[in-house]
């Protein structure tokens, strides 16, 4: 049975969404980020990324991690690629060419989008009412993203999905990375193809179900 380690308010959201899309049973183990705790080593601290019990499962001390019948993987986007390959169906690549494209777009998002999009999320996490001190960080990250958004916008101007003619794990992985920048509404307005695409992705029942649980968790 699949076990997903990580609270929903983390990159584990990607794996919970994927499990929902595949309609596979899973066990959720809520591991919280150690940075959110005053003393992650305290006896009363909840299971967290510095807890010995979790480090025994994932020595990297990051979430999410998944355990699928003894196979432990600990990179959120790779976890989804593995689950797609394992369970097949329309979310997986139909052939080697599609699998290559799915991997290509996923690594592109991880390397070129996520490092800058995460800066935006962290700025807002530090200042929930809107970044003041972090405004320069957000503006710099958005400026870099403008170019890369243009790459995906060009792709979506000719295709409804990132790979093939259907929703795949590539769409899911990219949508979860691009979600980190959604506070920058003007950026999405300047790229209507991306805006429409991510709205389609986030209208899927499995995404809405995942987000309902995520939003119910303590911030």
Check which CATH number belongs to the domain holding 174 and give it: 1.20.1050.10
Query: Does 219 reside within a domain?
Result: no
Closest to 114 measured CA to CA, from 84, 71, 75: 75
The predicted structure's pLDDT at residue 163: 97
Inter-residue contact 164 to 105 (CB < 8 Å): no
Query: Does 218 reside within a domain?
Result: no
Global pTM reads: 0.94
- Tell me: do 60 and 113 sit in the same domain: no
- Tell me: do 201 and 103 sit in the same domain: yes
Average pLDDT, the chain: 95
- At 115-151, the pLDDT tens digits run 999 999 988 777 776 677 788 899 999 999 999 999 9
Inter-residue contact 219 to 9 (CB < 8 Å): yes
């Amino acid at each position: 049975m699949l076990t997903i380690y990580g609270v929903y308010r983390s990159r584990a959201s990607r794996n919970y969404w994927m499990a929902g899309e595949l309609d596979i049973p899973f066990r959720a183990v809520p591991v919280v980020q150690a940075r959110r705790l005053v003393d992650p080593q305290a006896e009363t601290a909840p299971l967290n990324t510095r807890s010995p019990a979790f480090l025994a499962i994932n020595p990297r001390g990051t979430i999410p991690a998944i355990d699928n019948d003894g196979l432990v993987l600990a990179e959120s986007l790779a976890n989804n690629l593995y689950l797609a390959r394992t369970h097949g169906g329309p979310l997986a690549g139909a052939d080697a060419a599609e699998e290559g494209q799915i991997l290509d777009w996923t690594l592109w998002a991880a390397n070129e989008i996520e490092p800058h999009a995460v800066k935006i999320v962290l700025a807002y996490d530090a200042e929930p009412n809107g970044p003041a001190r972090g405004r320069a960080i957000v503006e710099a990250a958005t400026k870099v993203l403008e170019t890369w958004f243009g790459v995906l916008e060009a792709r979506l101007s000719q295709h409804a999905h990132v790979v093939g003619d259907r929703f795949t794990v590539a769409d899911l992985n990219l949508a979860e990375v691009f979600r980190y920048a959604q506070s920058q509404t003007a950026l999405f307005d300047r790229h209507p193809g991306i805006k429409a695409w991510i709205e389609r992705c986030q209208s899927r029942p499995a995404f809405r179900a995942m987000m309902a649980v995520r939003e119910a968790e303590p911030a």
